[in-house]
Chains A and B, each alone.
Chain A
Amino acid sequence: MRELFDAGFLRRLEQLALVSRRIFQGRLQGERRSPRRGTGVEFADFRPYTQGDDFRRIDWNAYARLDDLYLRLFLEEEELAVYLLVDASASMDVGEPVRKFDHARRVLAALGYVALAGLERVQVAAVGRGPEGGGRVPPPPLPLRNRHRFATLLEHLGALRADGAVDLAPGVDAFLGRSRRRGLVLVASDLLTPDPLAPLGRLRAAGHEPFVLHVLAPEEVDPAPGGEHRLVDAETGLALDISMNAQAVRGYRRRLEALSSAVSGWCRRHGVGLLRTVSSEPFEETVLRSLRLAGALR
């Protein structure tokens, strides 16, 4: 916990929060259509009047000047449910110099901090084996609000362990079973699972808005050629002998590219945010990029 979110991390996070808050809010709240729009006090925008709108929201001053009916829109005051869903299978426990799992948790923590600062409702969830399944993934903790609870959020994230062979699909199903409120689901996973798009589709179908953080280790993106190797699966422990020649590396890259383009194509089609990140890159960069990407998308 301490080594994962050390003082330097927190300091950088503070700076990041200042830069990112506006974007985040714009992305997450300001343009959200809500049945309860207008109940807030902060002015957001004008909108032409359409039949059925509340008369009380008409800006009469504008009507007097422009001779057109406009509604004054105010920012929604309602809190947004933000789920930090991290893939806690053993496959995430890979990566040099930074494990994918650590990178994913740092990025999620940063996004969670921003969400907390925006007074959103943030909840940490993990795809993995819980204690009842012989694993070390704790049951999902209670949702948090307010930036002062950030320490608790870090505790929740730090308590997670990447462990065991878990598929994304059953983990997502379990998450859906627990989370009643619809909201933004930040899924951090390496998506190295037989059918990674199905669980994402299920999240969407359940009314959630997924945002996919595709986390890969540098050696997965660019495996070093040369040598005879025995590849050991981190989850299953199964081994595979291979001559890591240029041909094999080429074949692997082709496969990985196919996976990535399948995921990105799906996300594009369904308007789902996607960020592909390598665990070796600085998490601030990932966070800023992801926030900008998210903000630019809508």
Chain B
Amino acid sequence: MSLLNLAGLALAAVALPIILLYLLKMRRTDRRVSSLLLWREVIADLQANTPFQRLRRNLLMLLQVLAVLLLALALARPIVRLRETGGRHLVLVVDTSASMSARDAPDGRSRLEAARADALEVVEDMGRSTSWWGRGASGDACMVVEAAAEARTVQGFTSDLHALRSALSTLGERHVPTNLEDALLLAMAAVRGRGEGVEGLVHLFSDGASPRLPELSGTGVGLRYHAYGSRADNLGIVALKSGEERGRTQVLVTVANAGDREARRFLNLHGGGVFLDARELSVPPGGRASAVFEGDWEAGVLELSLDGEDPLACDDVARLVLRAGREVRVLLVSPGNPVVERALAATPDALVERVDPAGVDALDPAGHDLVIYDAVVPAREPDRPALYLDPPAAVGPAEPRPAVRSPAILDWARDHPLLRFVDLGDVHLAAARPFVAGPRLRPLVTTDAGAVLVAMGRGDHEHWALGLDVYGSDWPLRASFPIFFKNLVALARRGGGDLPDGVARTGRPVALPAEGLAEVEVVSPDGTRYRLEARDGQAYFGATDLVGVYRVIGGGRTWSFAASLLDAQESDIRTRGVLEAGGRRVEAVASGGGVNREVWGWLVGAALAVLAVEWVAFHRRW
């Protein structure tokens, strides 16, 4: 038994004055009578007939003190552990997210280890309650759900204790964000799948680091929340970005402090195992601090790490992969276009070679990363990224319509890498030739007459067509024009898709470029190997469960990417004692198996019963 409100025991102090009053004898009211003659005989009679008279008075005191003690105990809100009764469907939802690997559970264990042990106890309890009647005869069935970035059924409903034990033992740390909602929905669906009216009980082993929980009331599924964790003083890297400035690489790091005291820690930068730089950060409680590293570093893995120790280690390190800078060779097929040429010239790393469109069909784009056709359409599409400016004829699926006058730009795809930071709100068009809408065209810039910039998928890269003459607009005068060409060059360098910024986050799938490969192999930081099938020049890897460097092997080439946690919510390892489940508050119970029940109601009832007995004892003789 444990108490939720120790302060309630203070009420027991009331027992002292009661005892004191009895010691000082009870205060009697004076009553004047004519004579004690008859009363003396009565007293003598009473004392002669009730030798327990004295005891009775003490009994009254004892009963009163007992009532006070019971009430004090009730006020302290005791909870008792009761064994589960059979015939229920238990779902053990174990949170294995990053914050659960914080090592602040008793005995130096991680939260997950403690949670696993408690979950195991629930299973053993189930075994004990069933062993009286034989295995599984009580009808208890249990399933195990892992709640990480995604919910996963580790073990379906079974009464087989051995299967449950081994399912629990497979649960390991995963450095990923939490998603309790999906796990609970899965648990509820599983309980409901067992039949109508089935009563389920979900044991949630977590630290509560999840934004919201699904509505549970009325579903016949109870929720018992076992909370873990005792510390909050954790510092973690929550954001990491890289960029280039004047030819130098810049790395922006943000560190968050979940604790309630200011933290001073060193942030170290290593490259290729060699110390490169460090910054001292002072992070206010509950706040963030950022640092910028700038340097001329070689390609490879840059590792940022926080000095010192805190409960959660996996967010103290973040890595990014610096790719080797690569010049982009641009083939501009144009009779001469000063605006475009100037915009390309302003783009670093772009090596522009202009050829006359006269021999366009004879051109071999090999050796170039990007081809720009200015008002000309080749007989054969190049097998690399290409931009068609004002194409006179259909380009693949993009078929230009007759020119329209003064179309107004309505919208553009801001999420497309080509239009990143490109604002077309102030651009006016004198004329344009919008493209006929088609299923294989993705409109990027839409006017009231149709799409004037479209994207076409071409194998592992994209082609784009711009249905207007830039000279027939004021776009070249706007800042968005050179940005557009910078984006174009950057896209070409990536080959149409790569790891953005070289930073991957755990728990999220990564698209791996696998041009010309049927499959690639990924080696995770713990040595596990995954074989991935590549399609359309890309392979998707989803098992980014651990923080660290992943090696990708394919086509005799090895390269790597790094996954980091970078999740402010997971770095905030404060334990939530209360969860909100559809507007209902779910309070954490003391960890462990069995059912925790508050018993104050019984205690108050017992106190009332004692008072009733006291009343009877006071007024009656037995």
Q: Which chain A residues have a beta carbon within 8 Å of chain B's beta carbons?
A: 91-92, 94, 100, 190, 192-194, 217, 219-220, 225-236, 238-243, 245-248, 251-252, 255-256, 259
- Residue B41 interfacial (CB < 8 Å): yes
Q: What are the residues of chain B within 8 A of A238 when measuring CB–CB?
A: 36
Q: What are the residues of chain B within 8 A of A230 when measuring CB–CB?
A: 28-31
Which of B26, B31, B38, B620 lies in contact with A245, CB distance below 8 A?
B620
| Highest count of chain A CB atoms <10 Å: which of B27, B42, B45 | B42
Query: How distant is A283 from chain B, measured CB to nearest CB, in Å?
Result: 19
Query: How distant is A190 from chain B, measured CB to nearest CB, in Å?
Result: 6
Bound CA–CA A100/B32 (angstroms): 13
Given known contacts A242-B43, A246-B619, A228 and B34 CB-to-CB distance under 8 angstroms: no
Q: What are the residues of chain A within 8 A of B29 when measuring CB–CB?
A: 227-230
- Residue B39 interfacial (CB < 8 Å): yes
For the complex with contacts A228-B28, A228-B29, A240-B39, 9 further pairs of A-B residues with Cβ separation under 8 Å are: A91-B35, A94-B33, A226-B619, A228-B26, A240-B43, A241-B28, A247-B46, A251-B42, A255-B38
Chain B residue total in the interface (Cβ 8 A): 25
Bound CA–CA A84/B277 (angstroms): 124
Given known contacts A242-B43, A251-B45, A252-B42, A229 and B34 CB-to-CB distance under 8 angstroms: no
Given known contacts A91-B34, A232-B30, A234-B35, A245 and B621 CB-to-CB distance under 8 angstroms: yes
Taking a contact as CB atoms under 8 Å apart, the answer to whether B31 and A231 are in contact is yes
Taking a contact as CB atoms under 8 Å apart, the answer to whether A192 and B38 are in contact is yes
Q: Which chain B residues have a beta carbon within 8 Å of chain A's beta carbons?
A: 26-43, 45-46, 57, 618-621
Bound CA–CA A255/B38 (angstroms): 6
Q: What are the residues of chain A within 8 A of B621 when measuring CB–CB?
A: 245-247
Bound CA–CA A243/B42 (angstroms): 11
Query: How distant is A208 from chain B, measured CB to nearest CB, in Å?
Result: 25
Taking a contact as CB atoms under 8 Å apart, the answer to whether B31 and A232 are in contact is yes
Query: How distant is B30 from chain A, measured CB to nearest CB, in Å?
Result: 5
Which of B27, B35, B39, B41 lies in contact with A235, CB distance below 8 A?
B35
Taking a contact as CB atoms under 8 Å apart, the answer to whether A92 and B34 are in contact is yes
Query: How distant is B14 from chain A, measured CB to nearest CB, in Å?
Result: 20
Taking a contact as CB atoms under 8 Å apart, the answer to whether B34 and A192 are in contact is yes
Taking a contact as CB atoms under 8 Å apart, the answer to whether B34 and A94 are in contact is yes
Taking a contact as CB atoms under 8 Å apart, the answer to whether A234 and B619 are in contact is no
Query: How distant is A227 from chain B, measured CB to nearest CB, in Å?
Result: 6
Query: How distant is A242 from chain B, measured CB to nearest CB, in Å?
Result: 6
Query: How distant is B622 from chain A, measured CB to nearest CB, in Å?
Result: 10
Bound CA–CA A248/B45 (angstroms): 9
| Highest count of chain A CB atoms <10 Å: which of B26, B27, B43, B618 | B43
Taking a contact as CB atoms under 8 Å apart, the answer to whether A248 and B42 are in contact is yes
Which of B34, B43, B618 lies in contact with A234, CB distance below 8 A?
B34
Bound CA–CA A174/B39 (angstroms): 29
| Highest count of chain B CB atoms <10 Å: which of A92, A193, A245 | A245
Q: Please name the residue on chain A nearest to B45 by beta carbon.
A: A251
Query: How distant is A234 from chain B, measured CB to nearest CB, in Å?
Result: 5
User: Can you list the 3 inter-chain pairs with the closest CB atoms, starting with the nearest?
Assistant: A91-B34, A192-B35, A251-B42
Bound CA–CA A145/B34 (angstroms): 34
Taking a contact as CB atoms under 8 Å apart, the answer to whether B35 and A240 are in contact is no
Given known contacts A230-B31, A247-B621, A193 and B37 CB-to-CB distance under 8 angstroms: yes
Taking a contact as CB atoms under 8 Å apart, the answer to whether A190 and B34 are in contact is yes
Q: Please name the residue on chain A nearest to B34 by beta carbon.
A: A91
Q: What are the residues of chain B within 8 A of A255 when measuring CB–CB?
A: 38, 41-42
CB<8 Å pairs between A and B, sample of 12:
A190-B34, A192-B35, A194-B37, A234-B32, A234-B34, A238-B36, A246-B620, A247-B620, A247-B621, A248-B46, A252-B39, A255-B41
Taking a contact as CB atoms under 8 Å apart, the answer to whether B36 and A231 are in contact is yes
Taking a contact as CB atoms under 8 Å apart, the answer to whether B28 and A233 are in contact is no
Q: What are the residues of chain A within 8 A of B45 when measuring CB–CB?
A: 251
Q: Please name the residue on chain B nearest to A95 by beta carbon.
A: B34
Bound CA–CA A236/B39 (angstroms): 14
Bound CA–CA A255/B32 (angstroms): 18
| Highest count of chain A CB atoms <10 Å: which of B30, B31, B45 | B31
Q: What are the residues of chain B within 8 A of A243 when measuring CB–CB?
A: 57, 618
Bound CA–CA A256/B619 (angstroms): 22
Given known contacts A229-B28, A242-B43, A245-B620, A259 and B33 CB-to-CB distance under 8 angstroms: no
Bound CA–CA A124/B38 (angstroms): 30
Bound CA–CA A48/B28 (angstroms): 70
Q: What are the residues of chain B within 8 A of A239 when measuring CB–CB?
A: 30
